[in-house]
Amino acid sequence: MMGLTLRLASMKDADCLFEWRNDPETRKASHSTEWVEVADHMQWLKASLSNSNRRLYIAEKKHVSVGTIRADFDNGTWTLSWSVSPRYRNKGIASQMLALAVKKFNEPLAAEVKAQNIASIKVAQRAGFILQREQEGVLYFQR
């Protein structure tokens, strides 16, 4: 995996997660595209870290945070979503992150990707996710 590791996120990751979340490309690819305020982000992160049905990972390369994967558990399935730091895009990081993440789960996995997000579609397919359906511009994958 070329030195990439995944670790659970903590409140120490708030600043980089906030920066990544409000990046224009990240917002365009997200279900919710609006700008997130700092207070709302901090509240979301605290709630996420204490939610037993959510796992939030930080991908690191040489101790530098390069991306994040969120996993939400519902109805026996973990739904994964991912984002790469704007500074580390187009370097294969997302595929490496997802390959590491899928090994952390025994239950079925899913991903929801906007139909115009070609990069994430390819990442999901490389990780063995199979397209199940498209609905209102969102592709639903299972693994």
Tokens representing 57 are: 């990972």
Instruction: Evaluate the CA torsion angle 33, 80, 6, 46 in order and state its sign.
Output: positive
Of the pLDDT bands very low, low, confident and very high (cuts 50, 70, 90), residue 29 is confident
**What whole-number percentage of the chain has pLDDT above 70?**
99
CA distance 87 to 34: 21
Q: Which of 79, 58, 53 is closest to 69 using CA atoms? A: 58
The model carries a pTM of 0.90
CA distance 102 to 77: 12
Mean pLDDT of the chain: 93
Q: Please give the helix or strand (H or E) that residue 88 lies within, else none.
A: none
Domains, the chain, in order of start with CATH, read: 4-108 (3.40.630.30)
